[in-house]
Amino acid sequence: MAKILDGKTAAAEVRSEVASEVAGLLERGVLVRLDVILVGEDPASVTYVASKERDSQEVGIESKVHRFAADVPQEELAALVGRSNEDTAVSGFFIQLPLPEGLDPMPLISSIDPAKDVDGLSPESVGRLVVGLPSLLPCTPHGVIQLLKRNGVDLSGREAVVVGRSNLVGKPLAQLLLRENATVTVCHSRTQDLPEVTRRADVLIVAAGKREMIGAEHVGEGAVVVDVGIHRKEEGGLVGDVRFDEVEPRAAWISPVPGGVGPMTRAMLLHNTVTAARIGPKS
């Protein structure tokens, strides 16, 4: 029976560390504030932002949400990004994605000051990650690495296979795994004989966004399996990209959905915010 990569416990550790650091900064007169730009009424985005507000309050981070109607002009959002970059009261901020149709997220994300880019998604932040310079790291990939390390999974010298090559998860995760001295293979929709490739993995991380695509035939005996996917079932409840009940008997470690990567993503946003407050420009 596989051991569970418990994201709730690991995330609680991160939040405790963040709360301690926030308290220390407040003692020195440094306020920590996270701003969110929320456009439209997408239910998932609204719920996600509300959870970020609760998380921030729990650790002592001030939170402000800038809410806009779905038909807001692109120029108005660009102006807010510019003001947020210059506002020394704002430690870090992010734009909740996806944006409504008709708005282009890339110019907005590209204009975020990397020192305040708590999502770690701007081209400059990504470039700094690739070349090994200090940067705020994308929350989900960093959360995966922390989930593994906090459960004692050593990545150095291990063969890691990432299924999925998105800019949000797959590509930056491959870079972070390389930082940990893993040997990395990235699979995608054009990969031939996917099970043959994934069975080689000591550590298999699935971030393809395709419900329950990975089964026992994809997993080598004793592998560590991390499921980044999350999908809502018609009958209720959530599942990931991995068929958990089928894969769990073959794995040494496996992350559940929910309760695995999700809590770590939220925790790493808090980590990035307090990091930005600590190292960013001060008034």
Catalytic annotation, residues: 52, 96, 119
- Residues 60, 228: Cα–Cα separation, whole Å: 28
Of the candidates 162, 200, 156, the one whose C-alpha atom is nearest the C-alpha of residue 182 is: 156
Residue 95 is labelled as binding a ligand: no
Do residues 8 and 259 lie in contact, with contact meaning Cβ atoms separated by under 8 Å? yes
- 134 vs 75, 90, 232, 280, CA distance in Å? 31, 20, 36, 12
Residue 283 is labelled as binding a ligand: no
The distance of Cα 130 from the centroid of its chain, to the nearest Å, equals 17
The full length of the chain comes to: 283
Residue 165 is labelled as binding a ligand: yes
Residue 230 is labelled as binding a ligand: yes
Binding residues: 164-166, 230
Binding residues for NADP(+): 164-166, 230
